[in-house]
Structure 1
Amino acid sequence: ANQSTWLGAPSCQRGSYAFYKSVSSRARLDGPVQVWKLGEFYFIRCGPQDPVCIAEVTLLWEDQTRQHLLASIRLYFLPEDTPKGRTREHGQDEVLAVSRKMVVRVEDLVRWSCPQPAGWSSSQKSAPYDLIEAQGIKVLSYPQYCRFRSLQRRIQDSASGPGLQDPHLLALGGIKALPNTRLMYCRDTFSHPTLESSANFSWQFRCPSLSMRGRPRKRRGRDGKDSPNSSQSESWIERMKVCLHVIFRSV
């Protein structure tokens, strides 16, 4: 079994729930320490036959009455790994988000972590095989992605222009990321009917007090309809509004 430890004091506490910014864990006792951070993206494979996907950590917290270390995650898949497959409308850097956020045990999240497969490496620069695992990943909204690419082209046209990490350029659409980070975008969601019914997700907490899926991010599918996130419990949103404000203000 892996060992998970919160890093730092809680950012916020509401009742029996304590919220954190990061957690460290080992998949094996003799394995390397992994750090999972709020707002970061990681590669996971939920089962041996399942495709690799991206997990965005949207909340980290502990149910102190049950001693459960929990995470709320949003999953992103390549278009070819979704029910409808890849079409001509999909861009080379596009991913699709599962319409519902999932609540998982931190220990399961760590157990599912995996290296980046070759199919996810940047199409603009082919990284050597031994560097693929070290390459990071970040998913942007479509407007963010377009602003970033536009700014990137302008800077490339200027021989002595500033880098994309320049504070002024960050305000204009630059992205704060490591040089070897693959930037992708998401503009659509899809329903994953087998995800929650899969045996790999039998750990999901279903009692009302733990059926928390984080603060919803309202998205519209290409059919113009609101995604299922818009039907999230309003009472949960109100209970967490103050707590989330404290967390993200200090990130």
Structure 2
Amino acid sequence: MKTFPLSAIVVATAMAAAIHPTTALAWGPQGHRLVARIAETELSPQARAQVAQLLAGEPDPTLHGVASWADALREHDPDLGKRSGPWHYVNLGEHDCAYSPPRDCPDGNCVIAALDQQTALLADRNQPLDVRRQALKFVVHFVGDIHQPMHAGYAHDKGGNDFQLQVDGKGSNLHALWDSGMLNDRHLSDDAYLQRLLALPAATAVSAALPPPAAAWAQASCKIAITPGVYPSAHVLPQTYIATYRPVAETQLRLAGDRLAAVLNAALASP
């Protein structure tokens, strides 16, 4: 079977994922930046002002500038990075994507509960500024994570990390492909990719209520992950795979950006 020639990109991503196989990055830095940049185009004036206040003093005081902060915790704050590791994903029912909190989110340690908790902290004006700043950075990241299908996928293969693939004759894994491989293969700058994503249809009927419907978002992502064909049957990437599934990944990015804006506009509305 022929394979799609993006091995250098995917293998490099897979090597990075292999360092932390149980908490591999979702989307990768560019994907998270793009989610944040979409949201930045849709913020209300009140939310925009609150974001500026909360991120003042950050090296890059923008949503896209802090979009991968939660992944960088592994190096900069190992204790918080370890504690928050399970907050990046959830493993739902393997055949129906049903969500059972006692089974899938023990002690609130999954992306569904973490997003709810951090959104509540962000919206609470009685919380210290540092707490709300950290919550904002988590929310920006977790909304991206929950829309990456492999972060709501199977527990038995760690969301595709253990599902090995042959890509152009070289080894990779399915999680790495969805994280960055399919996106990086376009070789687009953030500005160019943003315009491509903004040209996609905007999300409809985005809820402005808090807490956000995180469980429903995760279940929708899970249903993508378990769709027949997402896992190549021969563990070799078919030539048509990227053309089939990259549009799905890009639609998820657009959806995540629209929903992130809705969450922030609600959480940061004038009291």
TM-score by length of 1: 0.28
Relative contact order (alpha carbons < 8 A, sep ≥ 6): 1 or 2 greater?
A: 2
Superposition TM-score, scaled by structure 2 size: 0.27
